[in-house]
A = this chain, B = another copy of it.
Amino acid sequence: MKYPAHLLKLISVLKRLPGVGNKSAERYAFQLLTWSPEILREMAHIIQEVPTRLRHCSECGCLRGEDACSLCDERRAATQKICVIASPRDAFAIESTQEYRGLYHVLGATLSPLQGMDAEQLLLHKLIERIQRHQITEVVIALDSTIEGDATALYIRQELEPLKIKVTRLAFGLPMGSSLDYVDGGTLARAFSARNIY
């Protein structure tokens, strides 16, 4: 006995969510079947409204809701710092640390030849234009500590070299609360080579 056609459609759309395979999508779909029509309608409405209600700032690329972008104000520009991030989500994480008060620049992606992302698609000219316009003195690269993040950081550093400005990258080391026994070799090696006077 096969699933009804509409159930198959529902499962296939749920499988587009990140990390959701067949089993989870089926579980979600069968759960949806038990919801009231009102809740389903509300969910459909919220999903459909995403493109109109949630926009990306055309300047920095961060998420901005329906108001003006709160991350592009003059006080931030006055710090003459810009932080390069891979996705709008990273801005929320960095903001919540309260360690940084400068501009942001969303790349939208990292270099990944396998996924068809090459250097031209990073749109660095936009970043360079903003650096010049705001007379930025420090570019903080806040990218993942992965192969793609490393490659992208290296590429950005090279591209920004002619501008003769400070380019920094987030520190690598032991995560908070970690035990040496459980930390992987790569992290430990990087923590060693970046050791500080205590």
Interface residues, chain A, CB within 8 Å of chain B?
1, 3-7, 9-10, 13, 16-20, 24, 26-28, 30-33, 35, 37, 39-51, 53-54, 63-66, 70-71, 87-89, 91-92, 95-96
- The answer on a CB contact under 8 Å between B9 and A18 is no
- The answer on a CB contact under 8 Å between B50 and A40 is yes
Known contacts A54-B6, A71-B1, A92-B1; is-contact A13 B43 (Cβ 8 Å) = yes
- The answer on a CB contact under 8 Å between A18 and B33 is no
By a CB distance below 8 angstroms, the chain B residues around A28 are 17-18, 20
Q: List 29 A-B contacts (CB under 8 A).
A: A1-B71, A1-B92, A1-B95, A3-B63, A3-B92, A5-B65, A6-B49, A6-B50, A6-B66, A7-B54, A7-B65, A10-B46, A10-B47, A10-B50, A16-B39, A16-B43, A17-B28, A17-B32, A18-B31, A20-B28, A30-B88, A32-B50, A33-B88, A40-B47, A40-B50, A40-B51, A41-B48, A44-B44, A44-B45
- In angstroms, Cα B54 to Cα A33, docked, is 8
- The answer on a CB contact under 8 Å between B65 and A4 is yes
